[in-house]
């Protein structure tokens, strides 16, 4: 799950850089938006199975506070 999420995020970074220099490329923008939606779904699935991915309000936490529990996202 984490590998799939990392692959999607890598593609999003690359598309972001491309779109910075090609802002009128509709196909690239559509691909970016599709991957952004896919990233949200993949992150949600990961978090439901393993717990929060990111701190500082980017991810919800169940009770009790999950950031003190293992595994950490990079340990999965």
CB 12 within 8 A of CB 39: yes
In a domain? residue 16: yes
List pLDDT tens digits, range 42-74.
999 998 888 877 666 555 556 665 656 767 767
In a domain? residue 76: no
In a domain? residue 44: yes
List pLDDT tens digits, range 12-36.
999 999 998 998 999 999 999 999 9
The number of folded domains in the chain is 1
In a domain? residue 39: yes
Tokens 């529990």 -> residue: 69
């Amino acid at each position: 799950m984490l590998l799939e999420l990392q692959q999607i995020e890598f593609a999003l970074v690359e598309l972001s850089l491309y779109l910075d220099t090609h802002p009128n490329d509709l196909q690239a923008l559509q691909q970016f938006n599709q991957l952004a939606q896919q990233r949200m779904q993949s992150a949600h699935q990961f978090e439901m199975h393993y717990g929060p991915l990111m701190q500082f309000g980017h991810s919800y936490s169940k009770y009790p506070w999950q950031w003190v529990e293992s595994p950490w996202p990079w340990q999965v």
